């Protein structure tokens, strides 16, 4: 089991597989959650910046989440406790049906929580790339993780 103490700043973890974006999934997601014409209709999308049917940014974030969960499940089990949220989400380039997405996560910081000495807070940069290696999404996310030894002293910049 991997605990707070085992996290190393700078560690890069790549998703074990890619995610193929389908036209049907783009339309289905947009129909439910982001029903804008450029996510639903080829002709309407041609008249926009996108030039063709494109995935919702929220759909891209959901596909990234799928890859992140698969990455966590494929490695050493973690004493994770969920997430209190994200600090930043950027849609860099459009994602289109037919794109094949890959993802990686870089641990950028961690600290023990003074209010909860049994927990640590990690911060990671998540990046999603298309099949050409173009960056399409970045996110800075926060994660909660159990501390192996809650009685250990809390360092100021853990």
Chain segment 84-128, per-residue pLDDT in tens:
999 999 999 999 999 999 999 999 999 999 899 999 999 999 999
Q: pLDDT band for 33, please (50, 70, 90 cuts).
A: very high
Architecture in CATH of 4-146: Roll (3.10)
Dihedral, CA atoms, 15, 140, 119, 112, nearest 10 degrees? 120
The pLDDT of residue 156 is 57
* pLDDT band per the 50, 70, 90 thresholds, residue 158: very low
- Residue 81's pLDDT band, with cuts at 50, 70 and 90, is very high
> What token pair was written down for 8?
């190393």
Which pLDDT score is estimated for 151? 86
pLDDT above 70: percentage of residues in the chain: 98
- Predicted TM-score (pTM) of the model is 0.92
Look at residue 98 in the predicted model and tell me its pLDDT: 98
Distances (CA, A) of 66 to 1, 3, 70, 88, 140: 22, 22, 6, 18, 16
Residue 152: pLDDT over 90:
no
What is the arithmetic mean of pLDDT over 34-38?
97
């Amino acid at each position: 089991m991997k605990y707070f103490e085992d996290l190393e700043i700078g560690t890069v973890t790549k998703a074990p597989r890619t995610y193929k974006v389908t036209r049907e999934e783009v339309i289905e997601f947009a129909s439910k959650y982001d029903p804008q014409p450029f996510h639903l209709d080829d002709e309407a999308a041609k008249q926009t910046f996108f030039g063709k049917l494109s995935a919702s940014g929220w759909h891209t974030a959901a596909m990234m989440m799928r890859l992140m969960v698969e990455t966590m499940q494929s490695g050493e089990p973690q004493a994770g406790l969920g997430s209190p949220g994200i600090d930043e989400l950027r849609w860099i380039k459009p994602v289109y049906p037919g794109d094949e997405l890959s993802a990686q996560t870089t641990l950028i910081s961690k600290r023990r929580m003074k209010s909860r000495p049994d927990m640590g807070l990690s911060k990671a940069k998540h990046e999603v790339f298309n099949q050409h290696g173009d960056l399409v999404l970045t996110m800075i996310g926060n994660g909660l993780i159990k501390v192996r030894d809650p009685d250990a002293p809390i360092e100021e910049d853990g």
